[in-house]
Amino acid sequence: MEAATERQAFAPVRPSSGTKSKTARAISRGARERVRQIYRKLAQAWGPQHWWPAETPFEVIASALLTQNTSWTNVERAMANLRSAGVLSLEGIRNISLAELESLVRPSGYFRQKAQRLKALVSFIDANYNGSLERMFATPTEELREELLSQKGIGPETADSILLYAGLHPVDAYARRILERHEVVNASAKYDDIRLLMEGGLEQEDIPTGTALETSRPVVHSPSAMSTAQQSQRARVYNEMHGLLVQAGKHYCHKRQPHCDICALKDLLTAKQRVRFMGH
């Protein structure tokens, strides 16, 4: 297997195969500036989000699998067991016996199933990417998403968390919904087009500092190595943006009925969008 590259999962991705003109049609003029506005507005309103609360990309992957059907507190207990046993890595999960792994992840519930799935995912990464997360995350988003979804026990939410927080691929439905509603992109935009747009728009941005403007804001995680020191500035800003968009999507920009009147992005709506989503 390749030397450990787990901390360097922010790998360049090959652009999507769509033609330039198709991409141009899917992304609005001034889209980069709009991405910046959205980031600044949310960052000022809510402050740093520190997503995902993990130390390495592999920890993101493991916790995304363990968090299925249980609370984050239980995930943290299982993760603490894996960490103190020294197996919270591709190599660690590869080498530990299934029975030992089951016992370590027991606090997260469905421990037999989850232990098997962790092992199966590591086997998949070994077989297809020579044990390299960097190589895996350099795969175009749509292609990798399909591959992850074909793994037993990996549904859309888990696949998207892995792609987003471990690999920095912008795949979550929330980001797409918000960008579409603000007419930054349209429904035909590919995930990789959105990724390139986000990277371009946030290139010069900084991590939010200071106090959040809004007191009634969504609960945030404590800082973690993944959210602070391990990645480049650009990757951290990028993750912050996605943490913010996930919060906006979860709490305000609901699929059926957006709650624009209490959302931090309300001021960015055009008159037409206000009528569409707020009725006035």
Q: How many CB atoms lie within 10 A of CB 275?
A: 11
Choose among 31, 38, 46, 33: nearest CA to 208: 46
User: Whole-angstrom distance between the N-terminal and C-terminal Cα of the chain?
Assistant: 59
The CB-of-107 to ligand SF4 minimum distance in angstroms stands at 36
Distance CA 63, CA 42 (A): 26
The CB-of-198 to ligand SF4 minimum distance in angstroms stands at 16
Q: Which is nearer to ligand SF4, 41 or 236 (CB)?
A: 41
Q: Which is nearer to ligand SF4, 166 or 269 (CB)?
A: 269
**How far from the centroid of its chain's Cα atoms is residue 51's Cα?**
8
The CB-of-46 to ligand SF4 minimum distance in angstroms stands at 12
The CB-of-128 to ligand SF4 minimum distance in angstroms stands at 36
Distance CA 51, CA 30 (A): 27
Q: Which is nearer to ligand SF4, 209 or 216 (CB)?
A: 216
The site for ligand SF4 (CB under 6 A) is made up of 178, 181-182, 248, 252-253, 258-260, 263, 265-266, 269, 277
Distance CA 231, CA 224 (A): 11
The token pair that represents 233 in the structure block: 């500035």
Q: Which is nearer to ligand SF4, 58 or 252 (CB)?
A: 252
